[in-house]
Structure 1
């Protein structure tokens, strides 16, 4: 145990409260993530050099897609939490499955919800689904960053006991100093993954190969989440699974595999030629 630990910067999870109405940091994180992701996707579709001859959605399409994505995130995130992390409890208390204000969201569930929303939206607009996957993949780390910062502010999803100099004592987590795993996830799943994807799209032209950016996101997130899980305590109702694995690890493995497949699929296809170019 360390001789000292950093004090947890106790921040009220409620930013503003007026009577029964309360604005929580967690809700603001979702709103900020969606708004910044929307802005970034509009920037991407408004930059022709990133796409070459690949057809892309219009900024208006992105405006309309935001509502579909929001529904997919919220519905999928909640359903995923109910099914993956606390199924027995909600089976006994089904009405509480709708109590979003009590907290409880799953990224992997939200991911599935957004994928379904993208498929439905792409079909309704005649947009290439892999192109929409690429846009969402490039922008999603923005929302992940804000979401993990909100987890830290709420003092939830804390890390495993540790003696590192930056360990913190989290309220409700016992007296042991712990890894601030929420900040690790904000860095890996948010900042690092966003920068990697930005380099791929802007310097290596991955948007010209539909599915390549989406595959890099899925594989990158899965790897970042698995690494983070080594520092994060598993959900108490589940604990450690067989072999010391966690539910977060198990749910991330299919993302890594699916991402690797999407990358392989995109790379084996020829890059679309610019109009007027000749094959040599």
Structure 2
């Protein structure tokens, strides 16, 4: 039965501004805006004394310095993750294209791993608490995830499975069938809902005073949100379903869920003080 109502796909050019050979795409703008807003939010958190008690934390200047490290971790890790996890055969045959980030193709799980490595190196170099840096990045990460998923929608990529729900969308490159706008589901779950949950945990329950808890909550929450969204999203055509409903996105999220849960339990039981590291 056809849907009662179908949402028209917005005719938005993926290229926002073009000057000769230079083109600014919505995808790139989403990364820029997400990183800038995440940086500002991390600065607000470290500036709020009442959230921390006696727990040590980075200064605002150290957060400023970390932004470049985190950005490189996101971009390099995200691209390498996509190349290795989602399409290794293609990039083995076309190695030069592995560097063409502007064409799209980024893996959250790869970006997550890259950012973790960047944080470990930065914390070691500056003598900072690695768990507190993890917490701050976890609180801010949903901002970037939100804008990234909106860009996926604009680019008409990573769309969902055919459906007859009233808010279904006919994507220009998704065939004639109305589909779940799974990018918007992910923007809501991984972006808005996860951000609000972490904000409540940090501000109302003062869990920045338990280093590691919010980092675990982010990993756990993202893994759950991504797994739910994967039930409505079409997996990459060259990978398909691994087994039954299992997709690569779900498979990569399971370790995050388990690690996040273990980290929350460990952080909640851990005795912390003014010099928690």
Q: Is contact 2:5–2:167 with CA below 8 Å preserved after alignment?
A: no
Supply the distance in 1 between the matched residues of 2:56 and 2:3 (Cα, whole angstroms): 56
Aligned twin of 1:263: 264
Could you say what secondary structure the match of 2:18 adopts? strand
In structure 1, the residue matched to 2:182 is 181
Tell me how far 1:7 sits from its aligned partner: 1.2
The yes-or-no answer on 1:56 pairing with 2:45 is no
* Secondary structure of residue in 2 paired with 1:15: strand
Matched residue of 2:244: which SS? helix
RMSD (Å) for aligned C-alpha atoms: 1.1
Q: What is the rounded CA distance, in whole Å, between the counterparts of 1:6 and 1:196 in structure 2?
A: 29
Preserved CA contact (<8 Å) 2:4 2:166: no
Consecutive unaligned residues of structure 1, counting only runs of 5 or more, are 275-280
Asked if the contact 2:216/2:262 (under 8 Å) is kept, the reply is yes
What secondary structure is seen at the aligned counterpart in 2 of 1:23? strand
Q: Deviation of residue 271 (structure 1)?
A: 4.4
Hey, what does 2:206 align to over in structure 1?
Answer: 205
Structure 2 unmatched runs, 5+: none
- Measured against aligned partners, the alpha-carbon deviations of 1:58-92 in whole angstroms (never above 9, x if no partner) come to 00000000000000000000000000000111111
TM normalised by structure 2 equals 0.97
Q: TM-score, normalization: structure 1? A: 0.96
Assess if the C-alpha contact under 8 Å between 2:240 and 2:247 holds in 1.
yes
- Residue 4 of structure 1 deviates from its aligned partner by 4.4
Query: Any residues of structure 2 matched to 1:1-280 within 5 Å, and which?
Result: 1-272=2-273
**SS of residue matched to 2:16:** strand
SS at match of 1:239: coil
Q: CA deviation at 1:214?
A: 0.4
Provide the C-alpha distance between the structure 1 equivalents of 2:39 and 2:260, rounded to a whole number of angstroms. 23
- 1:272 Cα deviation from its structure 2 partner: 2.9
Shift of 1:99: 1.2
Partners of 1:186 and 1:102 lie apart in 2 by 21
Which residue number corresponds to residue 278 of structure 1? Answer: none
Q: Distance in 2 between matches of 1:270 and 1:49?
A: 19
Deviates more, 1:150-159 or 1:95-104: 95-104
Mapped to 2, the partners of 1:252 and 1:46 lie a distance apart of: 32
What SS does structure 1 have at the residue aligned with 2:270? coil
Give the secondary structure class of the aligned counterpart of 1:243: coil
Aligned-partner Cα distance in 1 for 2:215–2:5: 43
Write the deviation string for residues 173-217 of structure 1: whole angstroms up to 9, x where unpaired: 100000000000000000000000000000001100000010000
| Matches of 2:80 and 2:57, distance apart in 1 | 31
Q: Is the 8 A contact 2:78 2:112 kept in 1?
A: yes
* Alignment: residue pair count: 274
